[in-house]
Chain A
Amino acid sequence: MLLIALILVPTLTALAIVFAKNSKQVKVMAAAGMSIQLVQSLYLLYVFLAERASGNTEPVVFYQRFPWYNSLNISFDIGVDGISVAMIVLTAIVIFTGIFASWEVEDQYKEFFISLIVLATGVFGFFISLDLFVMFLFFELAVIPMYLLIGIWGSGKKEYSAMKLTLMLMAGSALLVVGILGIYFNSDSNGHHSFNILELAGQTFSMNMQRIFFPLTFIGFGVIGALFPFHTWSPDGHSSAPTAVSMLHAGVLMKLGGYGCLKVAIWLMPQAANELAWIFLILTSISVIYGALGVIAQTDLKYINAYSSVSHCGLVLFGLLMLNKTATTGAVIQMISHGLMTALFFALIGMLYSRTHTRIVHEMGGLMKVLPFLSVCYVLAGLASLGLPGLSGFVAEMTIFVGAFQHPDWFHRFITIVAVSSIVVTAVYILRVVGALLMGPVKNDDHTKFHPATWYEKLATVTLIAGIVIIGIAPLWLSDMIMDSLSAILD
């Protein structure tokens, strides 16, 4: 019931907004709905941990099955494990803060908030579903509102970016169709084909089948996880999108890729994953390095963050492809950590932009003096991004690299060293931007007249920072929760 409520609350919120009368009502409704969503996600986390503490070691808890298309054995299967619970809480935090970060949207506000919440509904549905068909349905539902959100409320070359993003992600999901249908027709549970992940996980597919459908599924999800060379939608899309959409997209939607790669491609077709991992490892380490080096050439704050997202999301796939528990745990923590800090970055960039009306780094300077609160937040986000101990980024990257080094052969060692070197590049670009943006003299006299951070801006940033700090200081419960669920997937 709790899981169904996770889809119902956003749906009802979106419906309620249709009947709102003015922009204030719309925002209050959206905020109320997403607050409920945040509370029930945290409650889900609580009951999930309680369930595990009471000795329930089922791979998936709160499992429910509602028959849907009987003729094709499609049913609405829902249930969560530690990874999905973690992703649900992340999504709830990001959409909650996203609503407050878009508090100043006045242009077609109704449509904006409805599209945003429909997008979030798709994401929540994706994380709770255990049926490949339903999962795919929610996946596409999460992608399509993005076109309107970027196309209508975006900035810059928004129409180009929106179209590019939508078509590339849809091409990814086109490959997924082939992938999941291939899995479906090669499966056999009691004489029927099955879309149910739990039933599929119990089967061994032939090697020939896996060799065809593992790459299709992995690339299909990899496109949205910014796998090189299919990452090119990301910088354009993120830089053109309005603030809340960048937050949600970089913070949560890109994680659908990593989550899907783990839960579908790797879980269901482990032998092919073992055999073909090296190809994708090379691609992901290119993502990691290329993204990091790409940042250095950028001067637009959003492009900077978009390229660094490519690099960080590359690390997620990198960790997953190591195919051991430690690295995979690190990858999942990296998803959450990157989700929180990139959402924080995009929120802050939006807040700065609404004041300075520029996103070019060298047109700003000395913001620490005029906007101390937002600047301190920016520094914190930067430090988390470069992996300072005590913040979430360190925990995630450390775990990934420790896991990666558990492979004794030279190929894994070499590729890990290549990926680790991205940390140095990250430190360079983060510190350069922080220095140019926040330190030094105030470059523009108009910048001294800024109004300080408002309550809704503070609420959004503080919530995100709280998440980053909690994971950074007390990561053990989270890694235990993830590790528990992994034993079903990786063994």
Chain B
Amino acid sequence: MASNNYYDPADLRKFGNITEWSKELGDKFFDYYGKVFEEGALTAREKALIALAVAHTEQCPYCIDAYTKDTLQRGVTKEEMMEAIHVGAAIKSGATLVHGVMMMNKVNKLEM
């Protein structure tokens, strides 16, 4: 390892290098990745905001770095960015809390 850290910002620039050890799969991935973010039924701007929210729920530093910059480039405002992250956070916390029903079911089953 060149760095003493698990995460190095400079590694983001090397993302494309993953094709070196598996060209076919790497190329297919990047083709797919590029296609996903093209303008489609959703605008590229909407897709960038989704990516920013998911980057946070995945807690991927590279993705947060990349999509913060990407959304800024698309003229997205700070308020829009933060709201997108709240959507991710709401789903994350909702996903935790909705499992509370499972816990309640189990308690109700076990208790007399």
* B and A form one assembly: no
Q: Which residues of A contact B (CB under 8 A)?
A: none
Q: Which residues of B contact A (CB under 8 A)?
A: none
